[in-house]
Structures are given as structure tokens and as C-alpha cells.
């Protein structure tokens, strides 16, 4: 279901923006000197529009560096005074939010752990109500698009119109080269449900290491995201948190130079005409796929009835194992991705078993 929130475009609260939104700065503010030096370097790149700096750092276990606390808000004020950049930080609860707004910060964002709690989000929404703050909402740690949407709706219902979603990846459910699994389909689902919502990507938290920042950032722009939030530190080797995923301002500039920014539409009639031709082909193929799946369902029902009549279980693991091996092997020959084929036939087979068990239960 499409939800139309009353949300301003980014240019409404950042009128000088002429490129995708780029927010950059240290994972954590560590000293006034570190904050100001990093900000000065970042401000030299006119592609950076907002300076970020963590003040309160929610850590998984106690004993790690948990941020400098409220004193960091004064450093952000000095950054804004000296560089002219809008400044922002993460808020994890109502008290943080009150302090950030009182300090005159331009942007606050709700972290993944906080987004996962509707109670926390509502408390933050109650604090920002009536303000002109820019509120950004990171995805929850698990790929629950309804939970993400709910957090955004709570902020919107507080009267906030300057809202941005941040895709920072999800807790991985399997081994992956990234710190957090991108799970791009959740971003697509959010965009489908909230089409006027600006969404930016946090490649730093998805990647976990500098090695993958460029590929994730390019993927974000290829998919039509509105910008990036990238962690940048004057000397990442000395960073007190997330050192491996931060770039120096100079390296950030080099990465930005390599990125290709895509347009949502092209002012080329020939392109649009050819795109329509290709899309029409996809529509026709999709129709054939659905018709074939419908035919498969009819055969599955016949198998279910046959198994029921012969008192045989719906699930036969040997058949399932053989089917998967055959389908993945055929997919390889057709140059299809193994993971895609496995997920596709996992869904098909699970639904086949469901239908067969329903046939068997109907007999009772």
C-alpha cells in the first residue's frame, strides 16, 4: 500500500544543493581539534553539504568508547560557525534529542537500534514536534520494512516535513563480505511504498571496511538513491571507533571522483522509445512465466491428491535435494546466479508443499 507522507524534498531545507546529498564526518567526535580539522578539510570539497559527528555512541557491549557526550555538541556548533556547514549527530533517546535541538543542530538521525523500538521513536517524535528539524531515520537492524515505515510515519505525524531515510544495511543472517547485509530489496520496497521519501545510503556501515565503499556507493546511485552518508576522519588509523570503515577527506574526494551519478530519466526520445520496447518484452515474458507457474500449480495439486490417496507425505527430502541440484545445474548452464536460482526454487517448493498439505488436511 502506497503511503503519501507530507515530506519536503531535500532542496527545501538545503537550497544550495546541486548534487546528490553528501553527509560526511567522523564516526565519533574525539576532541575539538579532531572535529574542527576534519571539518575544515571536508568543507574544501563543495560536494559535502552536511558535517556529521557521533557524540553518543550506542555500543553492543560496555567498555568500548561510547562517545564524548554533550560536550561534543559545542564542537559541532564551532564547526558550523567556522565552516558554514550544517551539522548533525545521532540521537538514541528523547534526552539526546532535546540537547541536540537546544544546541541548534540542523540534523538529527535515529540509529538502527533505536528505529527498532517504536517506544523510543515515539519519544523522539514527541521531542521534535513543532520544530523545523531535519530528522533522518536509519533502517532497523532487521529487514522489516513495516517497522522502518512505522518510524518514519511517527516522525511525520509529529509535524516534521524534513525527513530522510538512511539505508545502512541489516544484521547479516549468513556469512557475507560486508559488515551489514545490504538487502537492497528492502530499500526498493520502502521506495515503492513511500515514493516521495528521500532515501540516502550509508555505505560505511554496510561495508565495514574501506575496500567496499566505492562499489556500495555506486550501487546506491545506480538504484536511484538521493545521496550518501560517509564516515570521514582526519586520520582513520587513530579513530576510536570504526577505524576500518572511515576515509580521510582526501580519499573521500578520490572516491567521489570515481562515482557515476545516474539520472532517473533521460531527455532522449530514442532512449525512452527503446526502453519501452525492452520493457514490453519483459512484460510479455512475465506473463508467460505466470501462466507457466499456474500450469505448474495444477500439476502440484494432482501430485498432492495422488500422495494423499496413497498415504505418502507431502515433503520428500530426497526429491527436494535432487530437484535443487538439477535446477542449480541448469541455471549454471543458462548463466543464472546460483543464489537467485536457489531462492527462487526454495519459494516454489515451499509453496508446493503447502498446497499438498492443504489437500491432505482437506480430507480430514
Tell me how far CA of residue 46 lies from CA of 20, 41, 256, 257, in angstroms: 12, 11, 11, 12
CATH class of 269-362: mainly alpha
Return the percentage of the chain with pLDDT > 70, whole number: 97
Query: What nine digits make up the cell of 258?
Result: 570515481
User: Does 196 have pLDDT greater than 70?
Assistant: yes
3-class DSSP state for residue 244? Answer: helix
What is 10-258's CATH number?
Answer: 3.20.20.70
Residue range(s) of every CATH 1.20.59.10 domain in the chain: 269-362
Residue 211 is placed in which grid cell?
Answer: 575496500
User: CATH 3.20.20.70 occupies which residues in the chain?
Assistant: 10-258
How confident is the model over 1-56, as pLDDT tens digits? 688 899 999 999 999 998 899 999 999 999 999 999 999 999 999 999 999 999 99
Q: What is the DSSP string of 283-329?
A: HHHHHHHHHHHHHHHHHHHHHHHHHHHTT--S--HHHHHHHHHHHHH
Is residue 40 packed enough to be buried (19+ CB in 10 Å), middle (13-18) or exposed (0-12)?
middle
Q: Residue 104, exposed/middle/buried by CB under 10 A (0-12, 13-18, 19+)?
A: exposed
**pLDDT at position 228:** 98
364 confidence band (pLDDT: 50, 70, 90): low
pLDDT level of residue 362 (50, 70, 90 thresholds): confident
Question: Measured between alpha carbons, how far is 188 from 186 in angstroms, rounded to an integer?
Answer: 5
pLDDT tens digits, one per residue of 108-130: 999 999 999 999 999 999 999 99
Rounded percentage of the chain residues whose pLDDT exceeds 90: 75
User: What's residue 64's pLDDT?
Assistant: 74
More reliable by pLDDT, 270 or 305 = 305
Helix (H) / strand (E) containing 87: strand 87-91
Identify the weakest region by mean pLDDT among 68-77, 169-178, 189-198, 251-260: 169-178
Q: Which residues contact 2 (CB under 8 A, 6 or more apart)?
A: 192, 193, 194, 195
Q: What is the largest CA-CA distance in the chain?
A: 81
Task: Report the run of H or E that residue 76 belongs to, with start and end.
Answer: helix 71-83
Sole residue written with cell 544550495: 16
d(CA 73, CA 96): 10
Average pLDDT over every residue of 74-89: 98
- Write the pLDDT tens digit of every residue in 136-175: 999 999 999 999 999 999 999 999 999 999 999 999 877 7
Is the CB of residue 234 less than 8 Å from the CB of residue 51? no
Q: What is this structure's pTM?
A: 0.80
Predicted confidence band at 254 (pLDDT cuts at 50, 70, 90)? very high
Whether 137 and 155 have beta carbons less than 8 Å apart is answered as yes
- Arithmetic mean of pLDDT over the chain: 92
For residue 363, the model assigns a pLDDT of 64
d(CA 63, CA 52): 24
Amino acid at each position: 500500500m502506497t503511503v503519501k507522507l507530507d515530506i519536503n524534498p531535500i532542496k527545501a531545507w538545503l537550497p544550495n544543493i546541486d548534487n546528490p546529498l553528501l553527509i560526511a564526518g567522523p564516526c565519533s567526535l574525539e576532541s575539538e581539534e579532531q572535529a574542527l580539522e576534519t571539518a575544515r578539510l571536508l568543507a574544501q570539497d563543495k560536494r559535502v553539504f552536511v558535517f556529521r559527528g557521533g557524540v553518543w555512541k550506542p555500543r553492543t557491549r560496555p567498555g568500548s568508547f561510547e562517545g564524548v557526550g554533550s560536550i561534543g555538541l559545542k564542537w559541532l556548533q564551532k564547526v558550523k560557525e567556522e565552516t558554514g556547514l550544517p551539522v548533525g549527530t545521532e540521537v538514541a533517546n528523547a534526552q539526546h534529542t532535546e540537547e541536540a535541538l537546544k544546541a541548534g543542530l540542523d540534523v538529527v538521525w535515529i540509529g538502527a537500534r533505536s528505529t527498532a523500538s517504536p517506544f523510543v521513536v515515539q519519544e523522539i517524535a514527541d521531542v521534535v514536534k513543532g520544530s523545523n528539524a531535519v530528522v533522518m531515520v536509519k533502517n532497523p537492524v532487521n529487514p522489516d520494512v513495516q517497522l522502518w515505515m512505522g518510524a518514519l510515519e511517527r516522525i511525520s505525524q509529529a509535524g516534521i516535513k524534513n525527513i530522510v531515510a538512511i539505508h545502512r544495511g541489516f544484521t547479516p543472517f549468513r556469512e557475507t563480505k560486508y559488515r551489514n547485509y545490504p538487502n537492497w530489496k528492502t530499500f526498493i520496497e520502502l521506495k515503492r511504498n513511500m515514493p516521495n521519501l528521500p532515501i540516502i545510503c550509508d555505505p560505511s556501515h554496510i561495508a565495514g571496511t574501506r575496500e567496499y565503499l566505492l562499489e556500495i556507493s555506486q550501487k546506491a546511485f545506480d538504484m536511484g538513491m538521493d545521496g550518501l552518508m560517509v564516515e570521514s576522519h582526519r586520520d582513520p588509523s587513530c579513530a576510536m571507533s570504526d577505524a576500518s570503515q572511515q576515509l580521510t577527506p582526501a580519499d573521500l574526494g578520490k572516491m567521489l571522483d570515481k562515482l557515476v551519478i545516474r539520472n532517473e530519466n533521460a531527455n532522449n526520445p530514442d532512449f525512452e522509445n527503446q526502453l519501452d520496447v525492452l520493457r514490453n518484452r519483459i512484460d510479455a515474458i512475465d506473463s508467460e512465466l505466470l501462466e507457466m507457474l499456474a500450469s505448474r500449480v495444477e500439476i502440484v495439486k494432482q501430485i498432492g491428491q495422488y500422495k494423499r490417496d496413497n498415504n505418502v507425505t507431502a515433503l520428500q527430502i530426497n526429491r527436494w535435494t535432487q530437484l535443487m541440484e538439477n535446477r542449480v545445474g541448469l541455471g549454471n548452464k543458462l548463466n543464472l546466479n546460483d543464489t537467485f536460482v536457489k531462492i527462487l526454487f526454495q519459494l516454489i517448493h515451499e509453496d508446493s508443499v503447502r498446497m499438498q498439505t492443504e489437500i491432505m488436511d482437506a480430507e480430514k
